[in-house]
Amino acid sequence: MKNALKLFTALLVILSVSAFAINFETTNEGYEIGDVATDFKLLNVDGNMVSLSDYKDAKGFILTFTCNTCPYAVAYEDRIIALDKKYASKGYPVIAIMPNNTDVKPGDNMDAMKARAKSKGFTFPYLIDDGQKIYPQYGATRTPHMFVLEKTKKGNVVRYIGAIDDNYKDASAVKEKYVENAVDALLSGKSVEKTETKAIGCTIKV
C-alpha cells in the first residue's frame, strides 16, 4: 500500500510536469505593449557578448529578430541598416538577434551570420539566440519581427511590436513607416500611436 502511494505520488509529479510542458509549448504569448522586456547576454558576430545594459547612453532600442535565410528578412536588410544609421546617434541603436535553430537552418549559423554582417556592412550587433531562450520570452514568432523598447526607470519597456513598414516589396512605395513613427514619437516624448502591426514572415525554426 505504501509503495502504491509512493508510485501514485511519483506519477502525479510526472503528470503535473508533463502537463506544464505541454502548456508551456502552446501558451507562449510573449510581451504585450507596456511590459518590461528581459535583458540578455548573447554572442555577437565580433566574438563579444552583448547585453542591453551595455548601452549606458541609449534611450531605448530597435530590436529585430531576423536571419540570413528568410526572404522577408533579406528584403528588409537595407532598411534595418538605415534605421541604425538614422537612430543610433539619437539614442535608439538597432540590435539584431538571429533566433533560428541552426541545426535546422545551417544557413543561419554563426559563420554564415559573420559573413552576412561583413558583406552587408552591419553597423549594429548581430547576435545569436543560442539555446533559443530569448525569442520566446519576447513572443517573436517570425523573422523579421521588430520590438521598439524605451529605457525607463523600471526597465526597457515594450512600446511597439510588428513590422518595419507597410511595404516589404518596395521601400520607395512605403506609406507608413511604423518603426520610425514609433521611435520619433518616443524621442519627442509622445506616446506611440500605432503600437502593433501584423506582417507575413518566416516561422522561427525550432
Partner 1 sequence: MKIRTLLILILVITACKGNKNKEESVAQNSQDKETQTTANQDFELEVYDYNGLEKFLTKKDDKVYVVNFWATWCKPCVKELPYFESLNKEYNNKDVEVILVSLDFPHLYESKLKPFIVKNKLTSKVVALDDVDMDTWIPKVSETWSGAIPATIIYKNDNRKFYEQSFTYKELETEVEQFLN
**Binding site residues, partner 1, CB under 8 A:** 4, 7-8, 11-12, 14-15, 18-19, 21-22, 70-71, 75, 101, 104, 141-142, 162-163, 166-170, 173, 178, 197-206
Q: How far is the CB of 140 from partner 1 (least distance, A)?
A: 9
16 grid coordinates = 503535473
Asked if residue 103 lies in contact with residue 167, where contact means CB atoms within 8 angstroms, the answer is: no
Residue closer to partner 1, measured from CB, 142 or 151? 142
Nearest partner of 75 among 203, 201, 204, judged by Cα: 201
Question: What's the closest the beta carbon of residue 109 comes to partner 1, in angstroms?
Answer: 15
Q: Which residue has the cell 550587433?
A: 125
In the complex with partner 1, which residue's Cβ is closer, 46 or 176? 176
Sign of CA dihedral 151, 156, 157, 159: positive
Burial of 189 (0-12, 13-18, 19+ CB in 10 A): exposed
Minimum distance, C-beta of residue 37 to partner 1, in the bound complex (Å)? 18
**Residue 103 C-alpha from the chain's centroid:** 20
Question: Between residues 105 and 151, which has the closer beta carbon with respect to partner 1?
Answer: 105
Compute CA 164 distance to the chain's CA centroid, rounded to the nearest angstrom: 13
Minimum distance of partner 1 from residue 65's CB (angstroms): 12
CB of 38 to partner 1, least distance (A): 20
Other beta carbons within 10 angstroms of residue 55's beta carbon come to 19
Q: Which of 55/65 has CB closer to partner 1?
A: 65
Q: Which is nearer to partner 1, 188 or 200 (CB)?
A: 200
